[in-house]
Amino acid sequence: MGAIQSDVKDPGLAAKGKTRIDWADDQMPVLRSIRERFAKEKPLRGLRLAACLHVTSETANLARALAAGGAEVRLCASNPLSTQDDVAAALVKHDGIAVFSIKGEDNETYYRHILQALEGGPHMTMDDGADLVSVLHSRQRDLLPGILGGTEETTTGVIRLTSMAKEGVLAYPIIAVNDAMTKHFFDNRYGTGQSTLDGIIRATNLLIAGLKVVIGGYGWCGRGVALRARGMGAHIIVTEIDPVKALEAVLDGYQVMPMEEAAKIGDIFITLTGNKHVLARRHFEAMKDGAVLSNSGHFNVEIDIPALEDLAGGRKQRLRDYVDQYTLPGGRRLNLLAEGRLINLAAAEGHPAAVMDMSFANQALSAEYLAREGKGLKKQVYPVPQDIDREIARLKLQTMGVRIDSLSGEQQAYLSSWSEGT
């Protein structure tokens, strides 16, 4: 194999990365079965695919599946702190995939890597947060006519893309993988729930039991984090702007209140909204000494870090690898985790492979769908086709050894009839 264009931290880490990729592969049977079929059928043959995703062992197995399907894959990171450097090295050395990703890269490098992923002109994009799509539409518009379609992995990205479609500026169709039932019901809830708490504990080694944990946002991710934190003995407080979600949180047994009130009593704050300044200056001013601030939303804007910096006036010190302590006037100390970036990927390993199996199966099958149908789609955001979603659920159950019932002919007739009643 010839030299592959790439930019990774250390090619010497490839052997370690390969073992991590193989370990994840063992727990991703659905995606593995798709890769095996792709290798035979080559549904992506001749297509160039640019992907901006968290470069983890799970993502590596998605990239391998896409390459097995015939795609020429170029991969960059969707967050400066989420890359597993050994995995990036392994993809280049062992799989011949072009990777542009280094954990801890600065902002300039981050966007240079996105541009490198776009070199050659992709036919398809795969995004986590819509940064790739944004760069295409702002700085690389000459590449847009050649793109069949793309996919989006996360809530933040879907919000951005839906806004672009409404304004009539989206230049090609996007499939919202994030909204697939086999993605948000499981990845967002169980994956984010477990990995967020894992990241906080790795970063701080705090005992969660007995603490007041404030959850900013009660979407699927917020539900998952609340569930896991309660299971560890935390007292859960939820903040919301949506009355329906707030009501659900109340009926789930949690306290619900405005962030202004929660700020006064919370021990750990976790933002998961996809919006900016969920934790703002007025909240920092009300927080008690030692409060921990973390974010599990996609971008590092949910916590107003410039306001925190301003309040501290330079009184900042790194206490642990992922803990920056800010000392405010009067001596109160606030602890920011992972520079306000995704705590589950920055300080831990992200979602378990078993749940990403379904999310990335959606990505792979959506790419296959776009290769076949992309030319006939309008320039808007589409849901994952229902037959793909249900097939992934069926395959996942099968790999878990779980069987379910099926309708009899009589039952099918009853459900489709209007003439039978009591």
The CATH code of the domain that includes 332 is 3.40.50.720
Starting at the edge strand found earlier in the chain, the sheet holding 268-271 runs 255-256, 235-239, 212-216, 268-271, 292-295, 333-337, 323-327, 316-320
pLDDT tops 90 at residue 337: yes
pLDDT tops 90 at residue 4: no
With respect to residue 409, please indicate whether it lies within any of the assigned structural domains.
no
The domain tally of the chain equals: 2
For residue 422, what pLDDT is reported? 61
Rounded mean pLDDT, 271-278: 96
- Domain limit, last residue, from 330, 346, 362: 346
Domain limits for position 302: 190-346
Residues 379 and 303 in one domain: no
Residues 362 and 276 in one domain: no
Q: For residue 419, with 0-12 CB atoms within 10 Å meaning exposed, 13-18 middle and 19 or more buried, which class applies? A: exposed
Residues 176 and 224 in one domain: no
With respect to residue 6, please indicate whether it lies within any of the assigned structural domains.
no
With respect to residue 323, please indicate whether it lies within any of the assigned structural domains.
yes
pLDDT tops 80 at residue 2: no
With respect to residue 410, please indicate whether it lies within any of the assigned structural domains.
no
Rounded mean pLDDT, 224-238: 98
Residues 323 and 251 in one domain: yes
- Domain limit, last residue, from 311, 346, 381: 346
Rounded mean pLDDT, 393-409: 95
Torsion of CA 390, 391, 397, 402, to 10 degrees: 90
With respect to residue 199, please indicate whether it lies within any of the assigned structural domains.
yes
Best CA proximity match to 192, nearest among 87, 336, 343: 343
The answer to whether 87 touches 20, Cβ cutoff 8 Å, is yes
Q: Can you tell me whether residue 140 is helix, strand or coil?
A: coil
For residue 1, what pLDDT is reported? 42
Residues 323 and 375 in one domain: no
For residue 420, what pLDDT is reported? 75
With respect to residue 366, please indicate whether it lies within any of the assigned structural domains.
yes
Best CA proximity match to 155, nearest among 183, 178, 131, 180: 178
The answer to whether 266 touches 291, Cβ cutoff 8 Å, is yes
Residues 140 and 235 in one domain: no
pLDDT single digits (tens) 95-109? 999 999 999 999 999
Whole-angstrom Cα distance, residue 338 to residue 329? Answer: 23
Q: Report the percent of the chain where pLDDT is more than 90.
A: 94
Return the axis-axis angle of helices 57-68 and 85-95, rounded to nearest 10°: 20
pLDDT tops 90 at residue 218: yes
Residues 197 and 219 in one domain: yes
The rounded mean pLDDT for the chain is 96
Report how far apart, in Å, the C-alpha atoms of 247 and of each of 212, 224, 305 are. Answer: 20, 16, 30
pLDDT single digits (tens) 404-422? 999 999 999 999 988 876 6
Whole-angstrom Cα distance, residue 115 to residue 383? Answer: 27
For residue 184, what pLDDT is reported? 85
Q: For residue 39, with 0-12 CB atoms within 10 Å meaning exposed, 13-18 middle and 19 or more buried, which class applies? A: middle
Residues 330 and 360 in one domain: no
Torsion of CA 251, 255, 261, 266, to 10 degrees: -140
| 74: CATH | 3.40.50.1480
For residue 185, what pLDDT is reported? 87
SS3 of the chain: helix, strand, coil, percent, to 5:
50, 15, 35
Whole-angstrom Cα distance, residue 276 to residue 278? Answer: 6
pLDDT single digits (tens) 370-389? 999 999 999 999 999 999 99
Residues 154 and 233 in one domain: no
Q: Can you tell me whether residue 212 is helix, strand or coil?
A: strand
With respect to residue 5, please indicate whether it lies within any of the assigned structural domains.
no
The answer to whether 225 touches 296, Cβ cutoff 8 Å, is yes
Whole-angstrom Cα distance, residue 306 to residue 292? Answer: 17
Residues 6+ apart with CB under 8 A from 223: 189, 193, 252
pTM score > 0.85 for this model? yes
Residues 223 and 367 in one domain: no
Residues 139 and 222 in one domain: no
Whole-angstrom Cα distance, residue 402 to residue 398? Answer: 6
With respect to residue 16, please indicate whether it lies within any of the assigned structural domains.
yes
Residues 376 and 234 in one domain: no
Rounded mean pLDDT, 119-131: 95
